[in-house]
Amino acid sequence: DAGVIQSPRHEVTEMGQEVTLRCKPISGHNSLFWYRQTMMRGLELLIYFNNNVPIDDSGMPEDRFSAKMPNASFSTLKIQPSEPRDSAVYFCASSFGGGARGYTFGSGTRLTVV
């Protein structure tokens, strides 16, 4: 198994542009999590899906952030418009049943908004 696959690995964009981050969970996992990691705030849970349905999006910082999971093998996190304070590493993780069973991180996307 290739693990949780995130793309791109690095993204540099200008303020105001739309950014789309992608995640492919491990096959068979039915829960998917998006996190943002910064020095100041640590690893924050943004949203998680169970069986492709968003369960808790209370961590999504603003309306500029949106996440979708159209099927069991793909999710996107979109920021529109992006701002410099969105610069962070964004991690995706997947597991069985919403918790720690099989819990696996992707390698992350380092986003820089200039």
Partner 1 sequence: EDKVVQSPLSLVVHEGDTVTLNCSYEVTNFRSLLWYKQEKKAPTFLFMLTSSGIEKKSGRLSSILDKKELFSILNITATQTGDSAIYLCAVENNDMRFGAGTRLTVKP
Residues that bind partner 1 (CB under 8 A): 33, 35, 41-45, 48, 55-56, 91, 93, 95, 98-100, 103, 105-108
Least gap, CB of 17 to partner 1 (angstroms): 26
State which residue, 74 or 105, has the beta carbon closest to partner 1.
105
State which residue, 81 or 102, has the beta carbon closest to partner 1.
102
State which residue, 3 or 84, has the beta carbon closest to partner 1.
3
Least gap, CB of 18 to partner 1 (angstroms): 25
Q: In 3D, which of 82, 94, 106, 108 has the Cα closest to residue 51? A: 94
81: exposed, middle or buried (C-beta count within 10 Å: 0-12, 13-18, 19+)? middle
Whether the Cβ atoms of residue 109 and residue 6 lie closer than 8 Å to each other: yes
Whether the Cβ atoms of residue 51 and residue 104 lie closer than 8 Å to each other: no
State which residue, 81 or 89, has the beta carbon closest to partner 1.
89
Q: In 3D, which of 35, 56, 38, 44 has the Cα closest to residue 107? A: 35
